[in-house]
Chains A and B, each alone.
Chain A
Amino acid sequence: MNAAPGGRVNPGRPSARRSARRPAALAAPPRPAVLASSLAFTLLSWAFVSAALWPVYRAVPFVVLAVVAIAAGTAIAAAGALLRWPAWGGILASVAVLTIIGVPLAVPERTVYGILPEPAGLLELTSGIVLGWRQLLTIDLPVGSYQALLVPALVLLYVGSLLTASIALRTRRPALAGAVPGLGFLLAVALGRDDRAVPLVTAVALVVVLMLWVAVLRRHRRTDSLRAGGADNPLDARGAVVRSFASATALLLVAGGAGVAAGVTASPSTDRVVLRSIVERPFDPRELPSPLAAFRAAFDPPRASEIALRVSGAPEGSRVRIATLDSYDGVVFAVGSAEVSAASGSFVRIATEREVESPGERAAIEIEVVEGTGSWLPTVGEFRGVRFAGDDAADLRDRVRLNATTGTAALIGGTEAGTTYVLDAVVPEEPGVRLAESSPGATAVPGIAAASDELRAWLDGVTAGVDGAGPGLAAALEAIREQGYVSHGVDPAQPASRSGHSLDRIGELLTRRPMVGDAEQYSVLAALIARELGFPSRIVLGYGPIAGAQESLRSDDLTAWIEVDVAGEGWVPVDVMPPEREIPPAEPQEPVPVSRPQNAVQPPAEVPPVADEQSPPEIEPGERPEQDDLLTLLLTIARFVGIVLAVAALIAAPFVGVVAAKARRRRRRRRAADPTTRILGGWREVTDAAADHGLEIPVGATRREVARIIGQPQAGVLARVADRVDYAPEPPQAGEADRVWTAVDAVRAALVAGRRRRERWRAALSVRSLRRYPGRSRTERGRRAP
């Protein structure tokens, strides 16, 4: 070998030079110093990101999660770099670890003994990865370990640390890893509160760590560069190290000073824009007060006679719906339920217009809101669409939300006096259902508070001798109409009538004589009775049947009715108000006898002796149904085998796919019509086989250098032929392509020969050759002219 002065490697020997200059990142695991500095940077930088996330959670479980997630992500990246895992191996390991640690860390309630994940926990983990971010942005902070809201933090810290360490240890530009915690920090800040100052101290600390690490990286890179160039003593770069650290220190002082100054001067009270400032929180009617609770306010004397709504174009007899209430906690009837994700509480945006399949009269109904109705947008019939008037029509249209289950609409931000819109609606005719002949439907509704003893007793009294839910409901409603008197309690001439619709008020309604109340109490009473009898029921607040095409509705026209779900009919509106009539004087207070069971605990029902009534067995005792048992056994085995085969097929599918893709590629190359393409394809096949067998092929290697790496004499011949075909002006010789492919097969066989079965399998399943060679695509300007 021709040695140049200073012991340099002869530049005329590309292979020797290549091996001397091959970057450590491509050829071998990272050096210990690089490994240590990169891991330290990863751990520290993501610790700072965790600190930025702290205001979001403020809970001990988050600290545990952060420590474990960052450590796990960093450890996997380090193992991947040290053991030279292929990309798919790293991804599999990452997913497996996330599956194992995810539930105990992020959904600890869904574990057995705090460690083993339950299936439900895995489901929550999966859904949290996708949906948790949105939930996190639409909930008040801090969230602690509420539901699966720790999942976003787990994903951010685990994946972030994994990416950071992987980029630092396994790519040609490790400094890019610094961008990952930077982005993570920005995301953590963006997920945080909008009324807190940016954590400047943490940001400065992150920058400090980043700069120190880059300085260390630069030192290692410089040393590698000198070694690659054949420098005798890489330690000549000591000056560079000193200068790097000096520069870094100076920058640190500047950055730290700037950070402190900014921290002192920045006003923490100033709101800043974070994601939750932009993300629109979903409309949640549960956050609004129950409109039924404010029912009595509509009858206050100064307001009662004022116009509340002007409605024109509505078919006669139609009703104006303001809100539909279906959950009751014993105090207030409300929209939706806190415990149950009730369909009635779910409001969605309407893009253009809805398709309505219900039969009925289609109408364009203009409604002018004279007196604000809060967040509720009055509707008539089945909602198809809405068109607002005025300059802000588009904005108002965008704020409309609809609950298709109840036909209730809401306007985010609320209606104002003067809000005018035209409803495109389908108004169905009210079904003429006879309740006495009906039976309960099966629509699911939120559970409500248990009926009081007073209600049960009254109901028992009025339905005595009546069988069936439908006749019972009809009898009870008839009793309300007979016994009830209407008083809003605002007219001094009328007897007092307390507002409210708690169980206590309903009990008072039932026990006082005369029975006095208004739509608030009677609708609640009727809804509770319907539920008691098995009918799904709900209360609708709105305005009763409209008499004419154009009508001005006064505030005291407000009323409430119930809707009951009747089998075969659906929701049927039922008016429950007693007729307005003179209220008789109050009867003396006599205790209403309430029948109560003497013992709160019911005696156990007598269990009938079923043994004697059992039908005689079809087979004699001791005789086993062998045929059925065998069939059952076979079916069980078949089912088990089927499941095992399905799982095995699922697991094997990626591997089979890899082998099939390689076979298809090889066939395409071998059968190419053009001899040049066939020859170059043959060379590619050799290169791919070498890559799959774990040989490192540097980016800058030529064919002959690759052939030397492969080490097979025929590979060298193939490289020369491919070079001639690719770069010489004349076309390949006749029959040359076939000879090339014979040599290709020989080289592939030689690569396999002498290897253990496991290595052969690994090569066959390797995906390295399926990835495109980095930087090996021929550029347009360099493409050979036709």
Chain B
Amino acid sequence: MTMTPDQARWFADIAGRIVANVEQVLLGKSYVIRLSLAAMLSEGHLLLEDVPGTGKTSLARALAQSIRGTTTRVQFTPDLLPGDITGITVYDQRSGEFSFHKGPVFATIVLADEINRASPKTQSALLEVMEEGHVTIDGVEHEVEAPFLVIATQNPIEQAGTYRLPEAQLDRFLMKTAIGYPDHAATVRILDGAGGPRASKLEPVVGLDVVRDLIGAARTVHVDPVITDYVARLVEATRTHEDVRLGASVRGALALVRCAKTYAALEGRHYVIPDDVKALVEPVLGHRLILDPESEFDGVTASSVMGQVLLETPPPSDRVAV
């Protein structure tokens, strides 16, 4: 079944209201808000590489509040244990049975702050639930409720005492982006007290049922074969780029198509166009590349590589020769 133009307009209308609602808290950050929403509606997770004080927690809370969801925040530290995230089973002396106490992962939006400060074992526990959608404790699976979005953050400046996420685990994040500092106008508005209500005080826009409908609808966006061909060419270009040691994976290509469908629906279209792909290439594929160490030393970044790939890979031409 393919999405209809009416469904696309309905999708864009609701998504636009959510974005506008969250933007009351996060002034001038509509692009990141849309990306976060796209990640959630694509059933993926978001990695933010940001300095402190840019509004990561506010983003998570405002987004959760807008969809009547729950939010938790986990500050990752070296001594954090997997059970601190997933939950633990406790023996109830009164009933004589073990009962499961859910951890902070059981929420609509989980903010995993400074994920790279926890040990790899703890990181893996979070990544399992991100990938599988459930937690296994003492052989018992505990499902997390949809929608489920993990927003993990990394501090790009402080590297001491951190455990860098391995590439295989980075690949589990659907997108990686940054909120960044607000521009001058937004900063002035914030300082003038026009920052809007606190995230916890936002009025919800839709319920979780509607969000689940949106997730289902996003899957039905039409993708023309030439668009998948374009995605394949982009992915192949990352693999043959001279500054890249390891290019984007098949998982990355699938993620790009999935995100492009959601992004098209956010724009009110029931079909994907090359612009959707181009807009998402860097946040979806950038963190999946492993650059050549020498190039990295020279200052080449994933962003510059993706920019070059986009420049040199022509989008699909017209369907017919005219």
With contacts A699-B314, A724-B271, A726-B319 taken as known, whether A225 is within 8 angstroms of B279 at the C-beta atoms is no
Query: Given A229-B304, A231-B299, A727-B227, A5–B320 Cβ distance below 8 Å?
Result: no
Residues of B within 8 A of A21 (CB): 307-308, 310-311
Assess the B320–A680 pair: CB atoms within 8 A.
yes
A672 within 8 A of B: yes
Per-residue CB contact flags for chain A residues 1-33 toward chain B (1 = under 8 Å, else 0) read 111110010111010011001110000000000
CB <8 Å contact, A225 and B308:
yes
Q: Would you call B31 an interface residue if the criterion is a C-beta within 8 Å of the partner chain's C-beta atoms? A: yes
The reply to whether the CB of A756 lies closer than 8 angstroms to some CB of chain B is no
| B165 to A: closest C-beta gap in Å | 19
Q: Mark B288-322, 1 if CB is under 8 A from A, else 0.
A: 00000010011111011101101111111111101
Query: Is A5's CB under 8 angstroms from B304's CB?
Result: no
Asked whether, in the complex, the Cβ of A782 is within 8 Å of the Cβ of B304, the reply is no
Once the chains are docked, how many angstroms separate the CA of A603 from the CA of B176?
110
A681 and B322 contacting across the interface, CB-CB below 8 Å: yes
Contact yes or no, B230 A782, CB < 8 A: yes
The CA of A172 and the CA of B313, in the complex, are separated in Å by: 13
Partner-binding segment picked from A374-382, A580-588, A770-778: A770-778
Pair B315/A229 contact, Cβ less than 8 Å: no
CB of B275 within 8 Å of the partner chain: yes
In the assembled complex, the CB of A775 is this many whole angstroms from the nearest CB of chain B, namely 4
Q: Decide yes or no whether B181 CB sits under 8 A from chain A.
A: yes
Do the beta carbons of B301 and A231 come within 8 Å of each other? yes
A622 within 8 A of B: no
Bound-complex Cα distance A236 to B299 (A): 6
- The answer to whether B300 and A782 have CB atoms under 8 Å apart is no
**Chain B positions within 8 Å of A5 at CB level:** 50-51, 156, 178, 180-181
A512 at the interface (CB under 8 A from B): no
Q: Closest CB of chain B to A729's CB: distance in Å?
A: 5
Scan residues 602-619 of chain A and give those whose CB is less than 8 A from a CB of chain B.
Answer: none
Hey, which chain A residues are within 8 Å of B301, CB to CB?
229-231
Which of A127-135, A267-275, A362-370, A700-708 is found at the contact surface with chain B? A700-708
- State whether A226 touches B315 (Cβ < 8 A): no
A698 to B308 Cα, complex, angstroms? 12
Contact B317 A773 (CB under 8 A): yes
Q: Is A228 an interface residue (CB 8 A)?
A: yes
Convert B137-149 into 0s and 1s, putting 1 for each residue whose CB lies closer than 8 angstroms to a CB of A. Answer: 0000000000000
Given known contacts A231-B299, A727-B272, A778-B226, A226 and B317 CB-to-CB distance under 8 angstroms: no
Contact B270 A728 (CB under 8 A): yes
Chain B residues within an 8 Å CB radius of A699:
311-312, 314
B307 adjacent to A239 (CB under 8 Å): no
1/0 per residue, CB under 8 A from A, across B18-60: the answer is: 0000000000111110110000000000000011000000000
Among B180, B225, B294, contact of A784 (Cβ-Cβ < 8 Å): B225
* Cβ of B283 under 8 Å from chain A: yes
Closest chain B CB from A586 CB (angstroms): 97
With A8-B303, A11-B282, A699-B311 as contacts: A777 and B317 at CB distance below 8 Å = yes
A726 touching B318 by the CB < 8 A rule?
yes
Q: Contact at B316–A17, with CB atoms within 8 Å?
A: no
Contact B308 A3 (CB under 8 A): no
Chain B contacts of A758 at CB under 8 A? none
Chain B nearest CB: distance from A696 CB in Å? 12
A229-B301, A782-B226 known; A680+B271 contact, CB < 8 A: no
B233 → chain A closest CB, angstroms:
8
User: Which residues on the B side are within 8 Å of A782 (C-beta)?
Assistant: 225-226, 228-230, 316
- Most B Cβ at <10 Å: residue of A669, A672, A783: A783
Contacts of B102 in A (CB 8 A): none
Q: Once the chains bind, are B307 and A726 in contact (CB under 8 Å)?
A: no
B212-240 residues with Cβ-Cβ distance < 8 A to A are: 222, 224-230
Query: Is B82 among interface residues, defined by CB-CB distance under 8 A?
Result: no
Q: B315 and A704: CB pair below 8 A?
A: no
Q: How far is the CB of A197 from chain B (nearest CB, A)?
A: 38
Query: In the complex, what's the smallest C-beta–C-beta distance from B154 to chain A, in angstroms?
Result: 12
Chain A residues, Cβ within 8 Å of B314: 699-700, 773-776
By beta carbon, the residue of chain A nearest B310 is A700
B318 near A683 (CB under 8 angstroms)? yes
Contact call A778/B316, Cβ cutoff below 8 A: yes
* Contact partner, B278, options A14, A172, A669, A676, Cβ 8 Å: A14
Which single residue of chain B is at the shortest CB-CB distance from A730?
B5
Does the CB pair A237–B311 fall under 8 Å?
no
CB < 8 Å: which of B50, B307, B315 contacts A228?
B307
27 contacts between A and B (CB under 8 A): A1-B183, A2-B30, A2-B32, A5-B180, A11-B303, A12-B279, A18-B311, A226-B298, A229-B300, A229-B301, A229-B305, A236-B298, A236-B299, A239-B298, A680-B319, A702-B274, A702-B278, A702-B315, A724-B271, A727-B224, A728-B270, A775-B314, A782-B226, A782-B228, A782-B229, A783-B225, A784-B225
Q: Which residues of B contact A (CB under 8 A)?
A: 2, 28-32, 34-35, 50-51, 156, 178, 180-181, 183, 222, 224-230, 243, 269-275, 278-279, 282-283, 294, 297-301, 303-305, 307-308, 310-320, 322
Lowest 9 CB-CB distances: which A-B pairs, in order?
A229-B304, A782-B229, A681-B322, A236-B299, A775-B314, A240-B298, A728-B271, A776-B317, A12-B31
- Could you list 13 further interchain pairs (A-B, Cβ under 8 angstroms) beyond the known A228-B311, A773-B314? A3-B183, A172-B312, A226-B300, A229-B308, A231-B304, A234-B299, A723-B275, A726-B316, A726-B318, A726-B319, A776-B317, A778-B226, A782-B229
